[in-house]
Amino acid sequence: MILKISHIGIAVKDLESSNELFSKLFAQNNPYTEHVPQEKVNLSFFPISDSILELIEPTDASSSLSSFINKRGEGLHHICLEVDDIKYEINRLKKLGFTFINNEPTVGGEGFLISFLNPKSTNGVLIELCQKQ
């Protein structure tokens, strides 16, 4: 079951300067930051009510996020939906014709299990599913 919109991911080139910008915007200092080596990204989290704005900076030129920024520039990267059972949701959505970038969940930021739907099956929007472990 989809529980809520967990976060909105924003691709950025420079996390430090983007943290300054969004800290001013949201009147929040010192966002929680994390390095996720398997995804080749650094993250910053800005909580807003029940949701989070996640800034994502590539740490390697070969990462998919670097490719995204080179093609499209900085900006909206994905919308993440928190689910209670990610494997169930992957199977349910596959049966409905959706395709996934990764068919098996991996570990993402804050230890969540994550999986991304292919934007070709979601009107061009990259959608991430996440589940707390």
Predicted model pTM: 0.91
The per-residue pLDDT for range 38-88, each reduced to its tens digit, is: 889 999 999 999 999 999 999 999 999 999 999 999 999 999 999 999 999
Q: How many CB atoms lie within 10 A of CB 27?
A: 6
* Residue 2: per-residue pLDDT: 94
* Residue 30: per-residue pLDDT: 87
Q: CB neighbours of 21 closer than 8 A, spacing ≥ 6? A: none
- The full set of domain ranges for the chain reads 2-131
At 7, which amino acid appears? H
Q: Tell me: domain 2-131, CATH 3.10.180.10, correct?
A: yes
Q: What is the mean pLDDT of residues 94-102?
A: 96
